Amino acid sequence: MKYSVTETTNVQGIPRDTTEIHLVRPIKKEKLEFLLNNRSIRKITLSTSCLKRLPKKTQRKIKEKGVSISIEKRRGRPIGLPLEKIQEIVELRKDYQSIRDIERITDIPKSTIHYLLKYADRTKIKKGNSVVYLK
């Protein structure tokens, strides 16, 4: 899994075995150094605008550590439902349940169910206060 990192993210809370992070905005030098020194980060993804705001000196330091930087566009909000609930909705739909029946079973609004089913290939979800990328 890939963790999303912002300027307010508690970097100590990111698991040690995390190999990939996504920078939403450039973070402070101390946080980035902590991640590079204390985690097994091999790849950092970020948007084009974030890369433009990331100092060249910081980019060089990241590459010196052997970490690759790649541009990735990930638009939209993360889904706020637990992964198990999303899987349950998809499975119920595969069992030919109607959206209204799924609504009654799961207590999730039909518009949310429709959205999840239409965009079932979503790759980012909320896990507590942090955003986690599944792919």
103 dihedral zone (left: phi>0; alpha: psi -120 to 50; beta): alpha
Q: What is each CA distance from 75 to 4, 88, 108, in whole angstroms?
A: 13, 25, 24
Bin 96: left if φ > 0, else alpha if -120 < ψ < 50, else beta: left
Ranges of residues in the chain with a pLDDT under 70 are: 74-78, 119-125, 133-135
Q: Residue 80: its pLDDT value, please?
A: 75
Q: Rounded to whole angstroms, how far apart are CA atoms 127 and 52? A: 28
Instruction: Give the span between the Cα atoms of 72 and 131, in whole angstroms.
Output: 15
- Residue 100's pLDDT is 95
How high is the pLDDT of residue 74?
Answer: 67
CA distances to 22, 110, 130 from 127, rounded to whole Å, are 15, 22, 5
pTM of the model: 0.63
Domain boundaries, the chain: 2-71, 83-122
The predicted-structure confidence for 50-67, as pLDDT tens digits, reads as follows 999 999 999 999 999 999
What is the Cα–Cα distance from 93 to 113, expressed in whole angstroms? Answer: 10
